[in-house]
Structure 1
Amino acid sequence: MTWNDLHDRTEILREVLARAAADPANPGLLYDLPGCDRLFGGPAGVLAALQYRWDNHLHAKLDQAGLSGQSAADAYLELAAEQPVLRAVLDAQDVRRWRDARVPAR
């Protein structure tokens, strides 16, 4: 991956989060992103990158919590308050995936 690719990937993630600030449950949130297929392999790759971002931040929060005597739940809630749009996107996509999995095929 080149530096340009890295910057382009970062810009796509920023765009998704900017769109999500208006409506994190928007079904089109992960679509019509220039370069998405090349850089992420499609919307699922973008969602995976956002989940990876959350996981990295959460692991850092949990490490800090362990050192300061804070509970894991409090660390999670603190991160959710710091990054509400990211958390809302992941929650909305998880709900959509769960709902879609329960819809019977026609």
Structure 2
Amino acid sequence: MTWTSFHRRGEILRDAIASANRRRDGLLPLDVPGVHETFPDELSLLGALQLRWHTRLAGRIERELMLQPLDLESAVVAAWQATADELPGVLAIVDRQRATPATPEIAVAMEKSAAKEHILLAMMAGRVSVPDAAAARVGAAIEEQARATYVGAPAPEEPEARTLLGRLKAALAA
């Protein structure tokens, strides 16, 4: 991969993430210009989105642990929720593909990524020390706790809604 194609791939991935975060419908943003040329199939796009989610989550956990080092589990929960606020569309895609994978290959990839994410959550919360199936179960419980107490960020307003005409339309519709 050349330096130019590397940067182009990053731009298209950012556009895809922005589109997913606006829509929040859980569908892969295959309609974003350049996606089909950059990502050969759904699995490669999903993999890039999953990697972005995972790296953002890991970084958030590190930051939260610096802020509240005595309550590890609360820090991990707060980090998961902050990541969900930053990447709500990506989370919706990940959730949808975990629940109803588009292909058998995606099902296998999502199962592995979920297990790895759960192990990360459990280990960073200080609840386990060995990355095994028990750690994945503990991490899944931590994720459930994060979801149960999560109050999602509101969807961004459409540009038209911020204009006078958009506000008038909204007032008339109500």
TM-score computed with the length of structure 2 as normaliser: 0.46
- Deviation per CA, 1:54-99: give whole Å up to 9, x if none: 111111111112211152011100111122122222222222218x
Q: How many residues get paired? A: 98
CA 1:3–1:42 in structure 2 vs 1: closer, same or farther (change >3 Å)? Answer: same
Matched, 1:62 2:61: yes
CA 1:35–1:82 in structure 2 vs 1: closer, same or farther (change >3 Å)? Answer: closer
For 1:71, what is the secondary structure of its paired residue? helix
| Greater RCO (Cα-Cα under 8 Å, separation 6 or more) | 1
CA 1:31–1:25 in structure 2 vs 1: closer, same or farther (change >3 Å)? Answer: same
Letter of the structure 1 residue corresponding to residue 12 of structure 2: I
Q: Which residue of 2 aligns with 1:72?
A: 76
CA distance in 1: counterparts of 2:24 and 2:65, whole angstroms: 34
**Which sits farther off after the overlay, 52-61 or 65-74?**
65-74
Which entry has the higher C-alpha Rg, 1 or 2?
Answer: 2
Letter of the structure 1 residue corresponding to residue 89 of structure 2: V
- What is the percent sequence identity of the aligned residues? 28
CA 1:76–1:7 in structure 2 vs 1: closer, same or farther (change >3 Å)? Answer: same
Q: Indicate conservation of the 8 Å contact 1:36/1:46, yes or no.
A: no
Q: Which residue of 2 aligns with 1:104?
A: none
Matched, 1:95 2:128: no
**Which sits farther off after the overlay, 11-20 or 46-55?**
11-20
- Deviation per CA, 1:19-64: give whole Å up to 9, x if none: 42225333x6336864636x43311011101111111111111111
Q: Indicate conservation of the 8 Å contact 1:12/1:36, yes or no.
A: no
CA distance in 2: counterparts of 1:92 and 1:10, whole angstroms: 23
Matched, 1:12 2:16: no
For 2:25, what is the secondary structure of its paired residue? coil
TM-score computed with the length of structure 1 as normaliser: 0.70
For 2:94, what is the secondary structure of its paired residue? helix
- Please show how residues 6-45 of structure 1 align to structure 2 within 5 Å: 6-20=6-20, 21-26=22-27, 29-30=29-30, 34=34, 36=36, 39-45=38-44
Which ranges in structure 1 are unaligned for 5 or more consecutive residues? 102-106
